[in-house]
Amino acid sequence: MLTKSKLAITLSKLKTFENPDLQSEQYATDSESAALILWNAFMNGDVEGKAIADFGAGTGILGIGCLLLGAKSVYFVERDREALAVAEQNLAAVKEKINGNYELMLRDVRNAEVKADVIIQNPPFGTKTAHADREFLLQAFEAAPVVYSFHKTATALFVERLAAARGFSVTNRYGLSLPLKQQHSFHKRKIHRVEVSCFRMERT
Ligand code: SAH
């Protein structure tokens, strides 16, 4: 039986972005935060046996965690070819530990055209491209009845309002302090933490 700490260890061994693209806000979720959210999702009954889509999958940590926890299938939707190639290597590294199906989809989430039981996403926070977070949310609400989505805690009201306007309500909120590693020269401190919340939303 997989435990939360074993999950965190496996996830910590995955490769991350080689040349992160700042404009696309390519920040990988750290393995501790990913394990915490995925474990909660698993306990909420949202992972085992479910068809899941990981929007803006990057190097795949969230979707791979779902497969490790018994998801039936995972779609990895990502527009960056290099990131998806790393996700593919990461999947190869855990193939002995997973049974579910998966598909790597090189495309923009706005053209995702997938339906799933659950969406999990750590999208761009919209700091570089205005409304990127909004587009991910709107797409997720179309694609599944249950959505887990990471946002800056300061934008909670925006998330709640948009969810309500689309017939969703926030059922759970998990507060995180996400480390953003120094990946770009203008970052002054080595590790900068950002207050983020993962929202679980359900169609009402
Ligand atoms: N889910 C990963 C990556 C988070 S970074 C993790 O948790 O580690 C956000 C990712 O979204 C980046 O890889 C970026 O390339 C991707 N992205 C940004 N806009 C996108 C879009 N419109 N369509 C698809 N992917 C997008």
Pocket residue to mutate for ligand 1, from 11, 18, 26, most atoms within 8 A of Cβ: 26
Q: Which of 22-36, 86-100, 103-117 has the lowest mean pLDDT?
A: 22-36
Contact predicate 76/98, CB 8 Å: no
Q: How confident is the model at residue 187 (pLDDT cuts 50, 70, 90)?
A: low
Q: Which atom of ligand 1 lies nearest, measured to the CA of 150?
A: 7
Which residue's alpha carbon is nearest to atom 10 within ligand 1?
A: 56
Q: What is the pLDDT of residue 10?
A: 97
End-to-end Cα separation, the chain, in angstroms? 33
Question: Which pLDDT score is estimated for 89?
Answer: 98
> What is the structure's pLDDT at 84?
97
Distance between CA atoms of residues 31 and 29, nearest Å: 6
Sorted by sequence, the CB contacts under 8 Å of residue 121 that are 6+ apart come out as 54, 55, 56, 62, 136, 140, 147, 148, 149, 150
**pLDDT value at position 182?**
56
Distance CA 136, CA 66 (A): 19
Say how far apart CA 37 and CA 116 lie, in whole Å: 19
Q: Which of 27, 79, 86, 176 to mutate to test the pocket of ligand 1 (most atoms within 8 A of CB)?
A: 79
Note the pTM of the prediction, 2 decimals: 0.95
C-alpha closest to that of 38 among 17, 22, 21, 14: 14
C-alpha 18 – ligand 1 centre gap (Å): 14
Is 184 buried (19+), middle (13-18) or exposed (0-12) by CB count in 10 A? Answer: exposed
* Per-state percent for the chain, helix, strand, coil, to nearest 5: 40, 25, 35
46 token code pair? 């949202």
Model confidence at 184, pLDDT cuts 50, 70, 90, reads low
1 CA from centroid of ligand 1 (Å):
30
Q: Whose CA is nearest to atom 8 of ligand 1?
A: 28
Ligand 1 atom nearest to 62, measured from its CA: 7
> What is the average per-residue pLDDT within 33-50?
98
What lines the ligand 1 site, CB under 6 Å? 24-29, 56-58, 61-62, 78-80, 83, 108-110, 122-124, 132
Contact 193, 180 (CB under 8 A): yes
